[in-house]
Amino acid sequence: MMTTDTVLIRVQPTPNPNALKFVMNAPVKIQGKATFSKPSEAGGLRLAEDLFVVDGVRQLHFFENVVTVTHAEDADVDTLQLEIKAVLQTRMPAHDPNFLMEEEKKQVDRSNLPKDLQRIEMILDETVRMHLQGDGGDLEVLKYENHKLEVRYQGACGTCPSSVGATLDAIQGILREQFDPEIEVLPVM
C-alpha cells in the first residue's frame, strides 16, 4: 500500500515554458489520459480538485504515471512546485488511477471510423503521439475533410508556443509523406 512516505516525485521541464511534468513511482491514470482545463471538469476526482487549489495552476493532464501542470506565466515556479508536490504526496495514496472520464466511457472503437481517419490515427500513434505524451501532452483528431485535418492539442501541448509552429509542421510533414501529399493540419483551440 502506498503511503505519503513512499510517493516519489521527479519534476521535469517540458518544451512549453509554462508547463511542468511531475513523474511519480505510481500510476495516475491506468488507461487513457485525462485533461482538465478548469476545476469543474474534475468531476469529484479529489487529486485534480486539490491541484487546482494551488495558485497559478491553469490546466492538468494525467497520463500513466505523470501529472503535467500548465501554470500561469507569472507564477512563482519554485513555490508552485513545492505546493504541487505536497498535494501529490498527500493525495496519491488515496487516488484511484482506474478512473474513467465521461468521453472514455462512451469512446468509440476506431474500427468504426472511416478508413482515412483510421489510417491517420495509426500514423499519429506510430510517429507523433509518443513524443507529445513524453512532453506531457497529446493530440486529438477532430475531423478530416477535403485534405484538411482538424486537431486539438491536449495537456502541455495546448499552450505550447511550438505547437502551432515546428510541431504542427512536423505532424503535417509526416502525414504528407505517409498519407496525403496535400493534407493541411489545422489546430482548433
Give residue limits of the domains in the chain.
Answer: 4-101, 108-187
Q: Is the pLDDT of residue 123 over 80?
A: yes
What is the model's pLDDT at position 104?
61
Q: Is the pLDDT of residue 105 over 60?
A: no
Taking the chain, what is the end-to-end CA distance rounded to the nearest angstrom? 40
What is the model's pLDDT at position 3?
64
Min mean pLDDT across 18-32, 79-93, 114-128, 159-173 is at 159-173
Q: How confident is the model at residue 137 (pLDDT cuts 50, 70, 90)?
A: confident
What is the model's pLDDT at position 2?
60
Min mean pLDDT across 46-50, 93-97, 102-106 is at 102-106
Superfamily of domain 108-187: Fe-S cluster assembly (FSCA) (3.30.300.130)
Q: What is the mean pLDDT of residues 136-161?
A: 88
The Cα–Cα gap between 34 and 64 comes to: 10
Quick one: which of 47, 14, 35 has its CA closest to 131? 14
The pTM of this model reads 0.72
The Cα–Cα gap between 33 and 100 comes to: 9
The CATH architecture assigned to 4-101 reads 2-Layer Sandwich (3.30)
Phi, psi of 17 (to 5 degrees): -65, -15
| Separate counts of helices (H) and strands (E) for the chain | 6, 8
108-187 shares the fold of 4-101: no
Q: Is the pLDDT of residue 86 over 80?
A: yes
Q: Is the pLDDT of residue 115 over 60?
A: yes
